[in-house]
Amino acid sequence: MSDAEVVAAARAWIPDDPDAETRAELQAIVDEAVAGSGEAVADLHSRFDTRLAFGTAGLRGEIAAGPNRMNRVLVAQAAAGLAAYLVEQAAESGVTPSVVIGYDGRTNSQVFARDTAEVMAGAGVRAVLLPRLLPTPVLAFAVRHLKASAGVMVTASHNPARDNGYKVYLGGADEGSQIVPPADGLIAAHIDEVARGAVSDLPRSDDYEIAEESLVDAYVAATAAVAGHGTTRTAGADHGSGLRVVYTAMHGVGWQTASAVFAAAGLSVPVSVPEQQEPDPDFPTVSFPNPEEPGALDLAFALAREAGAQLVIANDPDADRLAIGIPDESSAEGFRRLSGNEVGMLLGWTAAELAAESGLDGALAASIVSSPALKAVADAHGLRFAETLTGFKWVSRVPGLLFGYEEALGYLVNPQTVRDKDGISAATFALALAQRLHAEGRTIADRLDEFTERFGAYASDQISIRVTDLDRISRIMAALRAEPPAHVGDAVVVRIDDLREGSATLPPSDVLRIVLDDGSRVMVRPSGTEPKLKIYIDAFDDGDTDAAARRAAAQSRADAVGAAMRVLTDAV
């Protein structure tokens, strides 16, 4: 758009925006632009030249006015578009479509959820709003529990404080998984059609339902059950007596539900980090509310040192991810966070043991950027292994799934109950394992050593290249394709798999897999939710030294490959 056109578009937006705050914000920018502010004009172009895309991650962005931001206009359009899709899909069956809607503690989450309920009800869709702010896994559970046609969760997960998002699930044959093609494209087309008209013209109704608390109780009971299977429990509810645990909700919505699950499971309820226990959309004690980020677990580690804890459990703000910390004398904090791959190895191994004890057949699954370690576990236990594209919308759909994970702290331990990553059920599973080990006089660190001794040492590294110029991501991917490296550091490139065209088992994706002659592997892909290029490195060592030395050797290989990839990408 020209400068004049973008100012006109902004002026047209203002009277259609139901939010007084974003109306006032935009009016002030328009006034500055008209007065000659180049910065204000540039801001309007950023907001109006394009539209926040609806895709397989739904919507996610900064809360502000304009079609390229998250706001009540975008949410109403998304709700109306999704409603049109659901009505269209239900037309042949003659059944009234239904949607269940959840929200977390972020800014405007409840407002966006109520807007969605009103627009859905106005479109003839049965709308059920969860009774209060709750974790994302409760919404994912509710889609299946209520046999809803779809689910909407208003959350931006672990994004920065000013962000919010809109995550969509489908029921029926999709069994409560997140949307994948072609559904995302069909929904997006309906949203685009809605966006051609005025939001104020959309029919709304307050004839929506509020779910009973019994739904939350059902989630708690179903999730507590994952602690009661086979090797994760010993006799008696106090089997982990003496294990001291610290928990943080990271200013999110996890504590109330997680503590209820732990108590229902007969597990020790952890000591909660008080500064981070209650929902706070400003996330005041962390610079970035993601347990993976440096410093995010500082308060939890400090409380763990004070309490003499042997385990730290962290959920992200919407509680769909899990981080684990264990004592480490070599660390300045006295604790270290296990990598997502280490937690995936441990939980996957326990799931495989349970399957063997129960005589179950099925599959373990991990995303393509996660460690190859889980395949070794599956092979050793006679289980199938499935590799999927990144995202639980793919992991959750693996036939016969017993356990699935992705290295970004996402784990699915109870696929018969929830078809998405669930940080609360994963925390329950991990806590039950830790308490069983404690009762046997062992620790999580001991279990990691046992894993290395049986399966070999797996190590990982990750590079995240955050950009302000999105074209740089395309340039790096194009350069790697146009001039494939023959070496990565001292390692020779054996082959490069370009997944743009997909494969026999994977849909097309903008991913490069670089296989090296020392057994290392590099995965390169653009992030689907942030302005980043992500590079994942995995290395392996199966020498005859002790577990610690083998892990150190594998990590040294991963570090060397990571350093070489930084040099390659910095040159573009």
Residue 185 binned pLDDT confidence (cut-offs 50, 70, 90)? very high
Give Cα 326 distance to the centre of its chain. Answer: 22
What integer pLDDT is reported at residue 92 of this predicted model?
76
Residues 489 and 116: their CA atoms lie apart, in Å, by: 52
> What local confidence, expressed as pLDDT, does residue 332 receive?
87
Instruction: Find the mean pLDDT for residues 125-151.
Output: 98
Residues 144-161: pLDDT tens digits? 999 999 999 999 999 999
**Is the whole model's pTM more than 0.75, yes or no?**
yes
Nearest CA among 493, 473, 466, 485 for reference residue 567: 485
Judge whether 445 and 539 are in contact, CB under 8 Å: no
Q: Residue 503 — pLDDT band, cuts 50, 70, 90?
A: confident
CB 208 within 8 A of CB 128: yes
Catalytic residues: 157
CATH code of the region 456-570: 3.30.310.50
pLDDT tens across 335-370, in order?
A: 999 999 999 999 999 999 999 999 999 999 999 999
Whether pLDDT at 239 is above 70: no
Q: Pinpoint the residues of the chain covered by CATH 3.40.120.10.
A: 56-211, 229-455
Given 3.90.1150.10, 3.40.228.10, 3.40.50.800, 3.40.120.10, which CATH number is that of 56-211? 3.40.120.10
pLDDT computed for residue 236 by the predictor: 38
pLDDT of residue 241: 64
Confidence band for 281, pLDDT divided at 50, 70 and 90: very high
pLDDT attached to residue 232: 39
Section 460-486 average pLDDT:
92
Q: How far apart, in whole angstroms, are the C-alpha atoms of residue 563 and residue 517?
A: 17
Q: Is the separation of the CB atoms in 390 and 371 below 8 Å?
A: no
Percent of the chain with pLDDT over 90: 90
One CATH from 3.30.470.20, 3.40.120.10, 1.10.10.10, 3.40.50.10190 for 229-455? 3.40.120.10
Domain with CATH 3.30.310.50 in the chain: 456-570
Burial of 233 (0-12, 13-18, 19+ CB in 10 A): buried
CA distances from 404 to 69, 247, 414, 524 (A): 33, 23, 9, 21
